[in-house]
Amino acid sequence: MSSQNGYEKKQFIYEEIPVKAFNGMFMLIFNILLMIASTVGFIYSIVMLDANPGSVQGIVLIIASLLYLIIIGPILFAGLKVIKPNEAMVFTLFGKYYGTLRKEGFYFVNPFVVSLNPGAEQTTSGSITADIAVAAVKATPQTINTVNLRKRKISLKVMTLNNDKQKINDQLGNPIIIGVVVVWRIVNTAKAVFNVDNYTEYLSIQCDAALRNTVRLYPYDVSDSPDKDNEKSLRGSSVEVAEKIKEELQKRVEIAGLEIIEARITHLAYAPEIAAVMLQRQQASAIIDARQMIVEGAVGMVQMALDKLSENEIVQLDEERKAAMVSNLLVVLCGNRDAQPVVNSGTIY
């Protein structure tokens, strides 16, 4: 067990390290002033060498000025970073994790660090749309550099994942089509960058797996069993099912430093191959329920009619006539068509 834990500690990063950053505006002004001073020193060294050829001081000054103007100054400019609200940058220094910069502002960091964002290196589907391709063709080098700079930043905003609809078998083995939307955000940038290859693709795959494992535990609709009132179903208990999906998905993406804020079912239907049969079953069930209600109401109305006739002594009916009257009333009340009246001009006996 200890060796396994040691292996996991070597493989995964669990905590963020705040990066050592300085005031970017101060470093910008300081570097500009040094470059101006280097330019002045370069001009002064040229004048010095012109007046005194072979001067060691002049040669050293011209080398130092050129070194700062060509190499050191531009390198220091590379250490300036701008962080907007709800953005972060993860840096590595010569292959090792250097730290995370996630507070908005203008900063100066080690100019040799490299920012990483594997979630922006490739799309989840692995392809690009036609609009993106046309924009890439028309893009200038400046716009390409701007896009690459944005890709290096990790967004800490709340984002939405809407995967394609899936065909999954429910608890009874019926194929259904279901879709889910997940609201998520990054809470640990070190885990998101270093523990998984691509956190957006990882979330998408784990979302499909969690959805499949949860859906197979519930039937599409409640059965006709006596305990159907306490039975959970995908159609009747969508809130509970979505919460179950959220809990399982959160366990799966914990290693990637992601937080699942909400999960909701956006589409739920039977698969096309059984949709027609299930629709007939639902229609038959609805017809049976409607007929049962009609019969219960008709029996109550017949009972009320007989009681009123007997209470007011309007007419005295024997058992045979009562049976005939009940039959006629039930036919009239339960029939699908309007009753045709029959006028009896003689005695009812």
Residues 6+ apart with CB under 8 A from 19: 91, 98, 99, 100, 101, 109, 113
- Percent of the chain surpassing pLDDT 70: 72
Q: Tell me, yes or no, whether 6 and 109 share the same domain.
A: yes
Q: Tell me, yes or no, whether 10 and 104 share the same domain.
A: yes
Asked if residue 341 belongs to a domain, the reply is no
> Which of 152-156, 267-271, 301-305, 332-336 tops mean pLDDT?
152-156
Q: Tell me, yes or no, whether 39 and 109 share the same domain.
A: yes
| pLDDT tens by residue, 238-294 | 888 899 999 999 999 999 999 999 999 988 888 777 656 666 666 666 767 777 787
pLDDT of 123 higher than 60? no
Q: Tell me, yes or no, whether 27 and 58 share the same domain.
A: yes
- From 131, 134, 102, 128, select the one nearest 115 (Cα to Cα): 102
pLDDT of 155 higher than 50? yes
Quick one: average pLDDT of 135-151?
46
Q: Tell me, yes or no, whether 174 and 247 share the same domain.
A: yes
Round to whole Å and give the CA distance between 292 and 312. 30
In a 3-state reduction of DSSP, which class is residue 242?
Answer: helix
| Residue 208: alpha-carbon gap to chain centroid | 11
**Token pair recorded at residue 46:** 């040229």
Quick one: average pLDDT of 149-160?
82
Per-residue confidence at 339, pLDDT binned at 50, 70, 90?
Answer: low
Mean pLDDT of the chain: 78
Asked if residue 346 belongs to a domain, the reply is no
Round to whole Å and give the CA distance between 238 and 32. 61
Asked if residue 8 belongs to a domain, the reply is yes
Give me the CATH number covering residue 174.
3.30.479.30
Q: Tell me, yes or no, whether 6 and 33 share the same domain.
A: yes
What was the pLDDT predicted at 343? 57
DSSP letter (8 states) at residue 114: E
Q: Tell me, yes or no, whether 257 and 197 share the same domain.
A: yes
Give how many domains the chain has, as a whole number: 4
Last residue of a domain, one of 270, 291, 325: 270
Round to whole Å and give the CA distance between 44 and 130. 57
Asked if residue 339 belongs to a domain, the reply is no
DSSP letter (8 states) at residue 18: B
- From 113, 91, 109, select the one nearest 100 (Cα to Cα): 91
What was the pLDDT predicted at 52? 80
Higher pLDDT, 337 or 91: 91
| Single-letter code of the amino acid located at 136 | A
Asked if residue 347 belongs to a domain, the reply is no
Asked if residue 345 belongs to a domain, the reply is no
- Determine how many CB atoms are found less than 10 A away from the CB of residue 196: 21
Per-residue confidence at 1, pLDDT binned at 50, 70, 90?
Answer: very low
pTM for the whole structure? 0.67
| pLDDT tens by residue, 33-91 | 999 999 998 888 888 877 787 778 878 888 898 999 999 999 999 999 999 999 999 99
Quick one: average pLDDT of 165-175?
84
List the domain range (segments joined by +) for residue 75: 2-115
| pLDDT tens by residue, 227-242 | 555 677 888 888 888 9
What was the pLDDT predicted at 3? 43
| Single-letter code of the amino acid located at 69 | L
Q: Tell me, yes or no, whether 134 and 86 share the same domain.
A: no
